[in-house]
Amino acid sequence: MSETRCGYAAIVGRPNVGKSTLLNHLIQQKISITSRKPQTTRQNVTGVKTQGNVQIIFVDTPGMHRKQTKAINRYMNRVATSATLDVDVILFVVDRTIWTTDDDNVVERLQQSKVPVIVVVNKMDCQEDKAALIPHLALLQERLKPAEIIPVSALRGHNLDCLEEQIIKRLPQGIHLFPEDQITDKSSRFLAAELIREKITRQLGAELPYQIAVEIDQFIDETTLITIAATILVERDGQKRILIGEGGSRLKSIGTAARLDMETLFDAKVMLKLWVKVKAGWSDDDRALRSLGFHE
């Protein structure tokens, strides 16, 4: 492509279809946390990919879902919706033919948008019967009228070059908004907190992860060594006990896993200190959410 281009691509879809995995593989760096549990991503995470004279700014979003019972869930829906308003292209990620009412909810929101939509049919590595997709995708084509439908495997990196080509075609001409070596607009503190949250989500039982938040109390960057102190907030005493584990074993293994990922991401040695604190009701309290950095 001869002219300089730069633009935004929002990644939307219901929880757990692989949005964050897609972002990480597109920019070949782990900046958005992923797990088997829904609602791992809570805030929009920006990933910047610059190649030659093209810059794509991806925005990974929390999963959109119908249930909006708690303040944190309402917050995540607003954040995801806001990301679709002012972008050049929307990547609507779906999981093969697995369709839920949360997918219907996304379609309804996208029907109101004027931005071109690319349907990304993810997890194709798990789809044996490719023909079974055809009637499903034909229906979706009719209903949403997307610009493209592209099957991929985010995890394996299959067909992502084709997806990228279709994104680039839709970006406007213009100067790059980020320096070439910048991969995200998020601070190192934010990324550190997210990595801790990811390890908790991956290592602990189903319901706990919804009710934790991570605050970075200290972040001292001495180039080759970064010292980080963080507090994990939970809602109840019982959760604190689970998180700490027998003789502190669980917290230790969460800390080790998070530290290893931080060392790769920051390219430095990391000293990580973790504390656990009970702060009842934070996830349904708008003021507490703001103080934890959930700003719009």
**With binding defined as CB under 5 A, does residue 20 bind Mg ion?**
yes
Residue 54 or 120 with smaller CB distance to ligand GDP: 120
Are the CB atoms for 126 and 46 separated by under 8 Å? no
**With binding defined as CB under 6 A, does residue 46 bind ligand GDP?**
no
CA angle 144, 146, 147 (to 5 degrees): 160
Q: What's the Cα-to-Cα distance from 125 to each of 11, 49, 122, 130, 155, rounded to whole Å?
A: 20, 25, 8, 10, 8
Choose, by CB under 6 A, the member of 5, 10, 35, 194 that binds ligand GDP. Answer: 35
Residue 133 or 155 with smaller CB distance to ligand GDP: 155
Residue in the block written with tokens 């309402």: 74
**With binding defined as CB under 5 A, does residue 41 bind Mg ion?**
yes
Give me 53's structure tokens.
């004279």
Choose, by CB under 6 A, the member of 7, 18, 47, 151 that binds ligand GDP. Answer: 18
CA angle 13, 15, 18 (to 5 degrees): 75
**With binding defined as CB under 5 A, does residue 55 bind Mg ion?**
no
**CA-CA distance, 253 to 202, in Å (whole number)?**
11
Q: Pick the piece of the chain touching ligand GDP (CB under 6 A) from 13-21, 79-87, 160-168, 257-265.
A: 13-21
Using CB positions, name the residue nearest to Mg ion: 41
Choose, by CB under 6 A, the member of 16, 46, 77, 184 that binds ligand GDP. Answer: 16
Quote the radius of gyration of the chain (alpha carbons, Å): 20
**With binding defined as CB under 6 A, does residue 42 bind ligand GDP?**
no
Choose, by CB under 6 A, the member of 41, 55, 184, 283 that binds ligand GDP. Answer: 41
Are the CB atoms for 11 and 60 separated by under 8 Å? yes
CA angle 76, 252, 293 (to 5 degrees): 25
Residue 20 or 184 with smaller CB distance to Mg ion: 20
**With binding defined as CB under 6 A, does residue 276 bind ligand GDP?**
no
**With binding defined as CB under 6 A, does residue 155 bind ligand GDP?**
yes
Cβ 29 to ligand GDP shortest distance, Å: 14
CA angle 150, 144, 56 (to 5 degrees): 50
Q: Which residues sit at the interface with ligand GDP, rule CB under 6 A?
A: 13, 15-21, 34-36, 40-41, 63, 122-123, 125-126, 153-155
